[in-house]
């Protein structure tokens, strides 16, 4: 399935939630972003729903994130979206999808660099913390 095969809408996101995570289905849903591999839909103020829509490799990456990010996030010096729920493939949407926490802020590639040296230090600390042996 690619973006040409199924249209992802707020109604679809709400239906998926209603089917698999009904306690979240009444939260407001609005488009957050469309990337190459995923679409991101805001779910209320604190959550997001991410659905793969282009490449097949996104499915496996999404499942890896669901497995590993809850263990990695507390070890990282910057906030990252932490998976809260996994949506399984269904007749409505034949791929896995995920509900994560929402990290507020502006993407670094869209924000002006006002403190370059500090930003470099923070990024280096993040990458150093990330590139460690995997937890057991």
Summarize pLDDT for 72-118 with one digit per residue, the tens: 999 999 999 999 999 999 999 999 999 999 999 877 778 788 888 98
Task: Calculate the CA 93 to chain-centre distance.
Answer: 17
- Which residues lie across from 39 on neighbouring strands? 34, 51
Question: Which contacts (CB < 8 Å, 24+ apart) does range 40-43 have?
Answer: 41/8, 41/10, 41/13, 42/102, 43/13, 43/17, 43/99, 43/102
Summarize pLDDT for 21-78 with one digit per residue, the tens: 999 999 999 999 888 888 999 999 999 999 998 788 889 999 999 999 999 999 999 9
Summarize pLDDT for 4-21 with one digit per residue, the tens: 577 899 999 999 999 999
Contact of 85 with 100, CB cutoff 8 Å: no
- Model confidence, pTM: 0.87
Helix (H, G, I), strand (E, B) or coil at 116: helix
């Amino acid at each position: 399935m690619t973006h040409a095969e199924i249209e992802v809408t707020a109604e679809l996101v709400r239906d998926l939630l209603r089917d698999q995570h009904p306690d979240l289905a009444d939260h407001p849903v609005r488009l957050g972003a469309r990337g190459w591999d995923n679409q991101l839909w805001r779910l209320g103020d604190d959550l997001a729903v991410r659905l793969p829509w282009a490449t097949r490799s996104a499915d496996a990456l999404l499942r890896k994130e669901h497995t590993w990010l809850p263990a990695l996030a507390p070890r990282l010096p910057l906030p990252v979206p932490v998976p809260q729920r996994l949506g399984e493939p269904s007749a409505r949407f034949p791929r896995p999808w995920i509900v994560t926490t929402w990290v507020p802020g502006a993407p670094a590639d869209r924000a002006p660099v006002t403190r370059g040296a500090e930003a470099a230090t923070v990024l280096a600390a993040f990458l150093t913390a990330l590139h460690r042996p995997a937890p057991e």
